[in-house]
Structure 1
Amino acid sequence: MTEVFDAVYRGESPFGKRPPWDIGAPQPAYVALEKAGLIQGAVLDAGCGTGEDALHLAGLGYAVTGLDLSPTAISVARDKADARGLGAVFEVADALDLTGWEERFDTVIDSGLAHTFEGDRLRAYATALHRACRPGAVAHILSISDRGSAEMQARLAEAIDEIPAPLPDDDESPTLKRSADHLRDGFAEGWTIESIDESLMRGVIPTTSELLDVHAWLGRFRRD
């Protein structure tokens, strides 16, 4: 997966130079969470991409670490931090492992990483986050829903010839189900589920730079 995502960030995919999740600004859901006082202490941005959420929080005075599998994304994020004079730390790391990051963080934000994992891998991700967090830490997981995924897929298919229209689901090649229960199951061990609410995730149509908000889940999980 490293090469797949690194190629996307290098502009070597049907999306062109800008993937649809790289909106050039922080996710509104995380801006609202911070304003509500729900971001505390040392922050991990898991799957940080080019760093906009992490940099937003760093600009507000938080100690933030952004981790991503893509070396290209991390390089871009570091350049942004230098250009803005912000002290956010960005490192290449596998979110399914996080060895070396044990008990570092009080808050986790995740904008669109958890929804890429199926059952066993989502549970492995939750386990890795558990190791990286201090007791009582909170993970805020912004995950696109089935409805939001269909919305985004349809818009991308309209705009980009290489993007296929959604295919019918079948038993031999089932589609990843992005439901609230998917998140509940993934974070069932070692975490207390405080809430899973309907939310919105902002994306961008790469060919037009049009921003759009699609349906998502926002889960809040507290480390036991």
Structure 2
Amino acid sequence: MSEADGPDGPGAMTEVFDAVYRGESPFGKRPPWEIGEPQPVYVALEEAGLIGGAVLDAGCGTGEDALHLAGKGYAVTGLDLSPTAVSLARDKAAERGLDAVFDVADALELTGYEGRFDTVIDVGLAHTFDAGRLRAYAAALHRACRPGALAHILSISDRGAAEMQARLAEAIAEIPAPLPDDASESPGLRRSADHLRDGFADGWTVESITGTRIRGVVPPTAELLDVHAWLGRFRRI
């Protein structure tokens, strides 16, 4: 069985995330990363002048961050593995009268998008990848970006993941609550600053990796929850 056909391949992941976006998971109709507004970190980055040119929202979900930037006048393309998420994002764009492009694509390949982008934003996609897949993702972004492009990667940290897991477990009976030091649920997956740095070691310059907060939502209550995360800024060589 090839990796593409395996349990972590794009076909299997599409099925998983499509089910989530259809409301067929313990999260109900609203997964914890769909907060109904742009991430505060990306609002601040745009205000600071760190977004420019053609923008890629990698793993766009239902499009809140892409649509925020489209509303500011940027040319934005949102890509996601889930057709259901992309369909929801397109509906939002039409309802709001915003000119943003949303398409289905595998972020580990990005075939057909070579040399297209000047800025990348990523809310919570990179932190789903182990070391090998993170390097493949960084290589795909390198192909999709022009020289000098900036990639802003917002990635939950180990600490933040434990905080979010514990809060979700309190609210949803089906969600387990592993101890913060229990890595058995995701062996080999470490959400550290070094993990990001190593993933973007080839073809990128690390400009900064800083501690910040990523906003999530506790689905049953719609309570917004900010947990610890890393914000990596990488420049394409």
TM-score (norm 1): 0.98
**Separation (CA, whole Å) in 1 of partners of 2:110 and 2:18:** 19
Aligned match of 2:157 in 125, 129, 145?
145
192, 205, 221: which one pairs with 2:205?
A: 192
What's the RMSD between the two structures over aligned residues? Answer: 1.2
SS at match of 2:228: strand
Equivalent residue for 2:49? 37
Aligned partner of 1:110 among 115, 119, 122: 122
Equivalent position amino acid for 2:70 in 1: A
Q: Which runs of 5 or more structure 1 residues have no equivalent in the other structure?
A: none
Match of 2:182 in 1: 169
Change (3 A) 1:170 1:141: closer
Who is 2:192 aligned against? Answer: 179
Task: Kindly report which structure 2 residues correspond to 1:47-62, keeping only aligned pairs within 5 A, or say none.
Answer: 47-62=59-74
User: Is the contact between residue 58 and residue 64 of structure 1 (CA under 8 Å) also seen in structure 2?
Assistant: yes
Residue in structure 2 matching 1:123, options 130, 135, 141: 135
Query: 2:14 aligns to what?
Result: 2
TM-superposition CA deviations, 1:63-99 (whole Å, max 9, x none): 0000000000000000000000000000000000001
| SS at structure 1 position matched to 2:19 | helix
Deviations 1:46-79 (A, max 9, x none): 0000000000000000000000000000000000
Q: 2:232 aligns with which of 183, 195, 219?
A: 219
Residue 27 of structure 2: which of 15, 22, 39 is its match?
Answer: 15
> Match of 1:142, as an amino acid?
L
Match of 1:204 among 204, 217, 223: 217
Amino acid aligned to 1:190: G
Q: How many residues are paired up?
A: 224
Q: Secondary structure at the match of 2:161?
A: helix
Residue of 82, 85, 107 corresponding to 2:97? 85
Q: Distance in 1 between matches of 2:183 and 2:97?
A: 50
The CA distance in 2 between the partners of 1:50 and 1:175, in whole Å, is 29
For residues 178 and 186 of structure 2, what CA distance do their matches in structure 1 show? 13
CA distance in 1 between partners of 2:95 and 2:186 (Å): 45
Counterpart-to-counterpart distance in 2, 1:197 and 1:183: 11
Q: Deviations over 1:130-160 (max 9, x none)?
A: 0000000000000000110000000000000
* Separation (CA, whole Å) in 2 of partners of 1:139 and 1:173: 26
Give the TM-score normalised by structure 2.
0.92
Tell me which of 154, 169, 192 is aligned to 1:157.
169
In 2: Cα distance, 1:155 partner to 1:52 partner: 23
- Is the 8 Å Cα contact of residues 171 and 218 (structure 2) preserved in structure 1? yes
1:176 positional shift: 1.7
